[in-house]
Amino acid sequence: MSVVIGLTGGIGSGKSTVSGLFKALNVSVIDADVVARQVVAKGQMALKKIHDYFGPDILIEGELNRPKLREIIFADPEKKNWLNKLLHPLIREQMLTQLADAKGDYVILEAPLLFENKLETYCDYVVVVDIDEQVQVKRASARDNNSIEQIKAIINSQIERQLRLQKANFVIENSTISLLQLEKSVIALDKQLRALQ
């Protein structure tokens, strides 16, 4: 099995951009958010169970009504707990299968909540994309069209920046650099990661 590199960072840190730069270097990237969508796709058993539990309003044309589900589980911790118990094992199993099937010197597991969901236990090393909080709030609110208060609430629900940095093996600093400089950082890190065999 390839060396597994966890890739994480707070909201608006540029994690997806970094992940895209790794993909451009022919590195396999398993995205936890994509896997989470796959397990509740049309025709999946998990979607049927969600439909049975939450009722027909939870679907739109056979697809999961994500905004409606989000609304329900934020208002009801018991329902959120039920959903987590259903989905977390399925997501983990699917991620581990994809990680085992990945080829190359190393594979990246991209997860915004890597530490919060204890996914670092599946990683040999962790890369954190780090960003100054003021820049983070500005970027994330511009990108997602969310209020600054909403972005700050999301930041506060994630692991503290200092703790995330303490847990990192490698850090990509992304507060003030251009895309070209970011690309150079990723290319340099790629060389280091390939040498970890």
Least Cα distance to 193 among 79, 94, 80, 107 occurs for: 107
Arch. (CATH architecture) of 1-27+104-197: 3-Layer(aba) Sandwich (3.40)
Walk along the chain (197 residues) and give the pLDDT tens digit of each residue: 689 999 999 888 999 999 999 999 999 999 999 999 999 999 999 999 999 999 999 999 999 998 889 888 878 889 999 999 999 999 999 999 999 999 999 999 999 889 988 999 999 999 999 998 888 888 877 776 777 887 887 888 788 999 999 999 999 999 888 899 999 999 999 999 999 86
| Per-residue pLDDT at 70 | 84
Q: Where is the binding site for ATP, in residues?
A: 12-17
Indicate the pTM of the whole model: 0.87
CA 85, CA 79: separation in Å to the nearest integer?
A: 10
Residue 17 in contact with residue 104, Cβ under 8 Å? no
Please measure the distance between the N-terminal and C-terminal CA atoms of the chain and give it in whole angstroms. 11
Q: Where is the binding site, in residues?
A: 12-17
CA 77, CA 81: separation in Å to the nearest integer?
A: 6
The residue extents of the domains of the chain are 1-27+104-197, 35-102
